[in-house]
Amino acid sequence: MDLTSILGPLVAAGMIITGMLLEGGHLSQLWAHTAVMIVFGGTIGALMVAYPLADMIGAFKALGIWLKNPTADPAQIQKDIIDLAQTARKESILALEKKRDSITFEPLRMAIGLAVDGTDPNVIRDTLETAAHVVFEEAEVAVKFWEDFGALCPTIGILGAVLGLQHVMSVLDQPEKIGPGIAVAFVATLYGVGAANIIGIPVGKKLKRKATIDGHVRAMVVIGVDGILSGLNPKIIETKLAVFVHNAGGDKH
């Protein structure tokens, strides 16, 4: 579980609410069901205009990626590849078959399966690179969805505030309703700006970072398998992969 994905929104919202209470505010001032309908209903509706249903479902499913640590650890992938390289060097490519079932990262397991079957190295490389490209492109859809969520929320929030102020203008002859009416109007802006900057934009950024890490790990597989099939010394393969281990965030992101 990625603790920062859980603690981040809690810390942000907690500090904002605490600051409001210290200024003399009340929690009841933060709730307005009409603002919820306008901001979140309006934003989702706008996103429906922009994205097919399948992409929207995929973007919400991507919240699981946001909440969890990356499935592949660059350091572990490097270790697995070096182990495979040493086995292939001491025995043969066919000897990798017995290690395939113990590999947890699917692209590496698939690549080893192709290698054991005698597939041309160029075909293996093209297959891995194509798969990596498609996976990254699909991940970018979820990234853009949440970034657009963050871009639309404040605008819809302002729309809610305008509608609320319009209502206030209709009760100018009732001074006791003006103050509360204005306060409720600005709750919509609060929801819009808050949802954008605590959820939408940050979720998009973290999903993009995790997609980049996944791309790095897939690149490691391409380099590693290519090195194994070329008969490179495991030490050379390890050196090539070291840059990914030192720079990729691994399970820290």
In SS3 terms, 30-81 reads as HCCHHHHHHHHHHHHHHHHHHCCHHHHHHHHHCHHHHHCCCCCCHHHHHHHH
Is the four-CA dihedral 158, 160, 197, 12 of positive or negative sign? Answer: positive
Percent of the chain with pLDDT over 70: 97
Q: Which of 20-24, 65-69, 181-185 has the lowest mean pLDDT?
A: 181-185
In this structure, are residues 70 and 213 in contact, taking their beta carbons and an 8 Å threshold? yes
Nearest CA among 87, 86, 121, 94 for reference residue 229: 121
Nearest CA among 125, 145, 143, 133 for reference residue 44: 145
pLDDT in tens, 89-102: 888 888 888 888 88
- For residue 245, the surrounding DSSP H or E stretch is helix 234-247
Residue 25 has pLDDT above 80, yes or no: no
Instruction: Give CA–CA dist 171/12, Å, rounded.
Output: 36
DSSP state of 200: I
Position with higher pLDDT, 46 vs 170: 46
Give the pLDDT score at 249. 52
Give the pLDDT score at 253. 37
pLDDT in tens, 128-167: 999 999 999 999 999 999 999 999 999 999 988 888 888 7
Neighbours of 141 (CB within 10 A): 16
In this structure, are residues 159 and 38 in contact, taking their beta carbons and an 8 Å threshold? yes
Give the pLDDT score at 53. 95
Q: Is 64 exposed, middle or buried (0-12, 13-18, 19+ CB in 10 A)?
A: exposed
Rounded mean pLDDT of 212-235?
91
Give the pLDDT score at 252. 41
Find the largest Cα–Cα distance for the chain. Answer: 91
Classified as helix, coil or strand, 232 is: coil
Q: Which of 10-19, 96-105, 118-127, 222-231 has the lowest mean pLDDT?
A: 96-105
Instruction: Give CA–CA dist 115/95, Å, rounded.
Output: 11
Residue 57 has pLDDT above 70, yes or no: yes
Residue 251 has pLDDT above 60, yes or no: no
